[in-house]
Amino acid sequence: MNAIKTAGRYKLLEKRAHGPVVFELVVEAPVIAGSCEPGQFVIVRADETGERIPLTIADFDRARGSVTLVIQVVGASSEKIAGFNPGDSYLDVVGPLGKKSDIEKFGTVVTIGGGLGIAPVYPIQRALKEAGNRIISIIGARSSDIIFWDDRMKATSDELIVATDDGSRGEKGFVTEILKRLIASGTKVDRVIAIGPAIMMKAVTGVTKPLGIPTIVSLNSIMVDGTGMCGGCRVEVDGKTMFTCVDGPEFDAKDVNFDLLLSRLGTYRDEEKISRDHCKCSQKGAK
């Protein structure tokens, strides 16, 4: 096993756990770190038997030549990637992929990070703050063990509001409820950036679309090659078929067919469970 983990070119420099299933990975990738921008992503393959997993570049250090990725364990391949330790090396880290975020001075921007979506929102929020925007940051999750980087989010915003479904940290409730309250209080919102589970982004869009508030979402569609050739990441935007990997991952929320996206995200749910169960059985047999 150690031979496989050290066969790649992309060394894992640091690893931090944020709860039982969320892990922060700092990976040595100087070429990617030297050219990536907020909003872009990479595709990681642990070894020759691993799947290609798209992960947003959550942070980067050009001087050090490293990129920071955050992964949530949901299947066999994400479990394998998260199982690496500092000193081990991934076989492939391909990128930067996708279009960079639109960064300019809009005015008051509300950034919303749901669960793992906190990671991709962070570099976008930081860049928007540096561009002179007033940032109101909302981060939320089911419970406190999935909330992370609240210190980074606070440092790059004018106001941070934390919410959890069960009330275990911050306010009890959904991010959409906080957004509605902000708007109802008279806060002029010039732009919303929402990243997280598709159902959350759909709910946010349901709030902002009737009010005409420009809203950008970063889609998490199924992806294989990341170059627009496989068609696996296709989504419907403004009635047209587009590919998340090359046309996105960010799109105007009001134009996204979220129902189709949600349907496609469930395509391989049964197979993912079988694969992870098989992986766990194999690990037990090897002990």
Summarised one tens digit per residue, pLDDT across range 27-46 is 999 999 999 999 999 999 99
Is the peptide bond between 214 and the residue preceding it cis, with omega within 30 degrees of 0?
Answer: no
Which of 77, 97, 117 lies at the terminal end of a domain, its last residue? 97
Q: Given a cut of 50, is residue 2 above it in pLDDT?
A: no
128 with 58, same domain: the answer is no
Q: Is 126 a domain residue?
A: yes
163 with 67, same domain: the answer is no
Q: Is 59 a domain residue?
A: yes
What's the pLDDT tens digit per position in 71-89? 998 888 889 999 999 999 9
Q: Look up residue 12 and give its amino acid.
A: L
Give the pLDDT confidence score for residue 55 in this predicted structure. Answer: 94
- Looking up tokens 């296709």 gives 234
What's the pLDDT tens digit per position in 147-179? 899 999 999 999 999 999 888 888 998 999 999
DSSP-assigned letter for residue 224: S
Q: Is 287 a domain residue?
A: no
What is the Cα–Cα distance from 66 to 219, expressed in whole angstroms? 24
Banded model confidence at residue 3, pLDDT cuts 50, 70, 90: very low
Phi, psi (degrees; rounded to nearest 5) at 239: 80, 5
Which of 97, 118, 151 lies at the terminal end of a domain, its last residue? 97
β-pair partners for 53: 44
Radius of gyration for the alpha carbons in the chain, expressed in angstroms and rounded? 19
238 with 150, same domain: the answer is yes
Domain that holds residue 9: 2-97
115 with 229, same domain: the answer is yes
CATH code, domain carrying 41? 2.40.30.10
Q: Given a cut of 50, is residue 286 above it in pLDDT?
A: no
20 with 162, same domain: the answer is no
3-class secondary structure, 145: helix
β-pair partners for 48: none
Q: Is 15 a domain residue?
A: yes
160 with 35, same domain: the answer is no
Q: Given a cut of 60, is residue 267 above it in pLDDT?
A: no
Decide: 101 and 39 in contact? Cβ < 8 Å: yes
137 with 244, same domain: the answer is yes
Give the pLDDT confidence score for residue 77 in this predicted structure. Answer: 87
253 with 126, same domain: the answer is yes
123 with 26, same domain: the answer is no
What's the pLDDT tens digit per position in 89-130? 999 999 999 999 999 999 999 999 999 999 999 999 999 999
| Least confident residue range of 54-63, 146-155, 217-226 | 217-226
Mean pLDDT of the chain: 89
What is the Cα–Cα distance from 38 to 240, expressed in whole angstroms? 25
29 class by beta-carbon count within 10 Å (0-12 exposed, 13-18 middle, 19+ buried): buried
Give the pLDDT confidence score for residue 76 in this predicted structure. Answer: 85
Alpha helices by DSSP H, 143-227: 150-155, 175-184, 198-208
More confident residue, 172 or 222: 172
How many other C-beta atoms are found inside a 10 Å radius of the C-beta of residue 75?
18
Number of domains into which the chain is organized: 2
73 with 130, same domain: the answer is no
- Looking up tokens 């889609």 gives 219
What is the Cα–Cα distance from 142 to 5, expressed in whole angstroms? 33
How large is the average pLDDT for residues 228-250?
A: 88
84 with 203, same domain: the answer is no
Give the pLDDT confidence score for residue 279 in this predicted structure. Answer: 55
Cβ neighbours for 81, distance < 8 A, ≥ 6 positions apart: 25, 44, 46, 50, 53, 71, 90
Q: Is 209 a domain residue?
A: yes
How large is the average pLDDT for residues 269-282?
A: 56
Q: pTM for the full model? A: 0.88
CATH code, domain carrying 130? 3.40.50.80
Q: Is 212 a domain residue?
A: yes
Q: Given a cut of 80, is residue 283 above it in pLDDT?
A: no
36 with 80, same domain: the answer is yes
Q: Is 81 a domain residue?
A: yes
Q: Given a cut of 60, is residue 278 above it in pLDDT?
A: no
Q: Is the dihedral of CA 189, 109, 156, 93 positive or negative?
A: positive
β-pair partners for 97: 41
Q: Is 103 a domain residue?
A: no
